[in-house]
Amino acid sequence: GAGVSQSPRYKVTKRGQDVALRCDPISGHVSLYWYRQALGQGPEFLTYFNYEAQQDKSGLPNDRFSAERPEGSISTLTIQRTEQRDSAMYRCASSLAMVRQANYGYTFGSGTRLTVV
């Protein structure tokens, strides 16, 4: 597609429910990042992929959070047993090249606003 697409744009869920957030990167982009941003705060890195391989998941807050990118394209971030503190804007970004090839920038998605009530 022309840009990085995320769905849904908004998600309201009850505490304890599982949610799955989707990111569809630009076709051909190798690297895909997930990060989240609480209201009034800077972004917080969660995890990233090169192709289908999850390279770094050190930013995932706890084991309720997981991410996959099985075919090296679309990625899903899953939050199990959601809690109110999980409420934030979840964004993804993709990049044409692998992270050590520092000649390519990111394209950001519009994000999914998650509200846990």
Partner 1 sequence: KNEVEQSPQNLTAQEGEFITINCSYSVGISALHWLQQHPGGGIVSLFMLSSGKKKHGRLIATINIQEKHSSLHITASHPRDSAVYICAVRWYSGGGADGLTFGKGTHLIIQP
Contact residues for partner 1, defined by CB under 8 A: 33, 35, 41-45, 48, 55-56, 58, 89, 91, 99-100, 102-108, 110-111
Q: What are phi and psi of 8, to 5 degrees?
A: -75, 170
* 8/16 with CB nearer partner 1: 8
User: Cα separation of 84 and 116, whole Å?
Assistant: 5
Identify residue 106 by its one-letter amino acid code: Y
Query: Residue 43 CB, nearest distance to partner 1 (Å)?
Result: 4
* 16/105 with CB nearer partner 1: 105
* 45/83 with CB nearer partner 1: 45
Query: Residue 74 CB, nearest distance to partner 1 (Å)?
Result: 20
Task: Specify whether the CB–CB gap between 114 and 86 falls below 8 A.
Answer: yes
Beta bridge partners of 107: 94
Query: Residue 79 CB, nearest distance to partner 1 (Å)?
Result: 20
- Other Cβ atoms within 10 Å of 90 Cβ, number: 23
